Amino acid sequence: MDVERDEDVPVEEYDTEQVPSPTEETAVGGIDFMPEEVPVAVEEEVAQPPPVEAEPIPTEPEQIPSSEEEELAETPMREGQEKVLILFFSLVVGAFLLYKLMGRFTSGTTRRRRHTTLLVGLSGAGKTALFAQLVRPKEGPLVKTNTSMTLNSGTLKGDGSHTIVDFPGHRRLQGNLWEALAEAKKVVVVIDSITIHDDHQEGAGALAALLFSLLQSPEFIGVQQVVFACSKRDELTSYTAKAVQKLLEAAMTRTIESKQGDIGSVDRVVDGKGTVIQRKATGNRRSLNLECENGKFSFQSFGDSCRVPISFVEVSANPNPGEHKFNTQPLVEFITKE
């Protein structure tokens, strides 16, 4: 391409550079070169972050309770523990009070297994003679006995073994009666049917005084049956069981009336099975209520009130079928009957 030059201006004063077009080649110093291509701004591609796998959404997200939530969660547990402790101490206190209450009503008695039949009565009534006949072998000879000053114990053989205890009737030994009475399931009161009418001897009055103490003693509570054995019925001068009962009930009436002020109030009356019939306060002692209905004492009424069966039988320690009908069979039936 030709360029016009001004005549007045020398060519050497300036050099006009031609900017070659992008497609035009320019020779400088004999060296062909390509003009630098002006880079065209190219929109940079923004690198996309790699895809992040989504975590599965838990069905029950774990929740971390705050301190308040922890306190709220512990509150019901603490309250439950307090209720359990209160209930425990209440039961302990209740059991203690029940123990003390039961102790008041059982004070003065000893809980023992009752399994014996106790023979009691005045001295010379014939207890030891009857005892000897009851415990002797069926085919053995009759035993001669004397008044005993010591306790005897033996076994009546039959459908089973039945322990019989013969307690001495001497007055000086009656203080030891209560221990034997506490083990007795049944009681046999042996009565001399010859001397029962004579108060100058060991008669109804003396026996009534013994029965007054025996029947209202704490050790008597638990006895299931009582029989009055009118002994020596083989003697011509002996009284019948009906007459003996009448004489003894009259003596009991006099004894109760004379000692009415000493009885005091009754703690409670129970039967042989432990059922409470009547209860009143009288310190720590329990006793049966010996009363006279319409001015008279009755063994039948007394037995019904405390539910202890009482009966009268006629016996003899000298059985002789050829001369009389009396023997120890009524006592055998009483002892062996359940």
Q: What's the pLDDT tens digit per position in 314-327? A: 999 999 999 999 99
Comparing 3 with 214, which gets the higher pLDDT?
214
Identify whether the C-beta of residue 230 lies closer than 8 Å to the C-beta of residue 191: yes
Residue 293 in this model has a pLDDT that exceeds 90: no
First and final CA of the chain: distance in angstroms? 158
SS3 state of residue 98:
helix
| Range among 19-28, 37-46, 197-206 with highest mean pLDDT value | 197-206
| Tokens representing residue 149 in the block | 């000053």
Strands 184-192 and 225-231: parallel
Where are the chain's structural domains? 116-265+290-336
Report the candidate in 215, 285, 270 with the shortest Cα–Cα distance to residue 248.
Answer: 215
Indicate the residue type of 164.
I
Distance (Å, rounded) from C-alpha 207 to C-alpha 193? 12
Find the mean pLDDT for residues 12-28.
49
| Mean pLDDT value across residues 212-226 | 93
Mean pLDDT of 10-26: 50
The residue to which tokens 């019989």 are assigned = 164
Q: Which residues pair with 231 in a beta bridge?
A: 192
- For residue 52, the number of C-alpha atoms closer than 13 Å in the C-beta half-sphere is 4
pLDDT of residue 92: 84
Does the domain at residues 116-265+290-336 carry the CATH identifier 3.40.50.2000?
no
CB proximity list for 109: less than 8 A, separation 6 or greater = 182, 218, 219, 221, 286
Mean local confidence (pLDDT), 195-222:
89
- pTM comes to 0.61
Query: What H or E segment, with its residue span, contains residue 262?
Result: helix 260-263
Q: Which amino acid is at 268?
A: R
Of the pLDDT bands very low, low, confident and very high (cuts 50, 70, 90), residue 329 is: very high
pLDDT at 46 over 60: no
pLDDT of residue 111: 53
Bridge partner list, 188 = 119, 227
The predicted structure's pLDDT at residue 55 = 62
* Summary mean pLDDT of the chain: 75
Residue 101 has pLDDT above 80, yes or no: no
pLDDT at 94 over 80: yes
Across the strands, what pairs with 287?
A: 268
